[in-house]
Chain A
Amino acid sequence: DQQVKQNSPSLSVQEGRISILNCDYTNSMFDYFLWYKKYPAEGPTFLISISSIKDKNEDGRFTVFLNKSAKHLSLHIVPSQPGDSAVYFCAASVGNQFYFGTGTSLTVIP
């Protein structure tokens, strides 16, 4: 059974608006959460992460929010740019075991 879930396979957003990507998890032992971005025919690249002891982390246009009681995290991209169009994976780790969601394909429309 999947421990990290991304229930939206795709998302379309207008350039300049906010993109919100969501992720749910089941294992309360996860100690780190990460977001990766992936372009076709390339490996995932790290975007932003958050420790389980925090509820928000911000890096430029990217902000990750963690709601431990709901076992939910989200990635906000503001403002969205056409270059942000990619597949976004959420991941969670406990020790050296990493679990990834199935990805959300974001399209930013110019």
Chain B
Amino acid sequence: DAGITQSPRYKITETGRQVTLMCHQTWSHSYMFWYRQDLGHGLRLIYYSAAADITDKGEVPDGYVVSRSKTENFPLTLESATRSQTSVYFCASRRRPGLRHNEQFFGPGTRLTVL
């Protein structure tokens, strides 16, 4: 199906483990983003990517690593998970800047629990 998908949808892991959240989009959008949603904070930008092999930090990048070897994929890795990284993670994509709405298209989210 066309669109933006995330996997897994739910994940439980333990403190100190490495976890990778996957994001895939079929629109060939240039830009992709990772957010986390926490109570009292709304959505906060972790990392974004303007194109393959181009990534940049957002508001809360510490403890996360991203890569983008292909335009359609943008995985997010927690190298050593901590309890404070328990959250709902959303991936989003956007067409090139300058278009009328400047909107992002969001995936369904991954609920991550770190025990």
Give chain B interface residues in 32-54, CB to chain A under 8 Å.
Answer: 33, 35, 40-45, 48, 50
Q: Which of A46, A99, A101 contacts B104 (CB 8 A)?
A: A46
Name B58's closest neighbour in chain A (CB-CB): A97
Q: Given A41-B108, A42-B109, A43-B109, is A100 in contact with B102 using a C-beta cutoff of 8 Å?
A: no
B interface residue count range (under 10 / 10 to 19 / 20 to 34 / 35 or more): 20 to 34
Enumerate chain A residues within 8 angstroms of B79, measured Cβ to Cβ. none
Return the contact of A93 from the options B43, B56, B90, B102 (Cβ within 8 A): B102
Are the CB atoms of B109 and A89 closer together than 8 Å? no
Residues from chain A with Cβ under 8 Å of B14 in the complex: none
B103 to chain A, nearest CB (A): 4
Most buried by A among B35, B102, B105: B102
> Chain A residue with minimal CB distance to B111?
A41
Query: With contacts A41-B108, A42-B108, A102-B41 known, is A96 near B48, CB below 8 A?
Result: yes
What residues of chain B have their CB less than 8 Å away from a CB belonging to chain A? 4, 31, 33, 35, 40-45, 48, 50, 56, 58-59, 90, 92, 97, 101-109
10 CB-based A-B contacts, threshold 8 Å = A2-B41, A36-B106, A42-B109, A43-B90, A44-B90, A45-B106, A49-B101, A97-B45, A98-B104, A99-B59
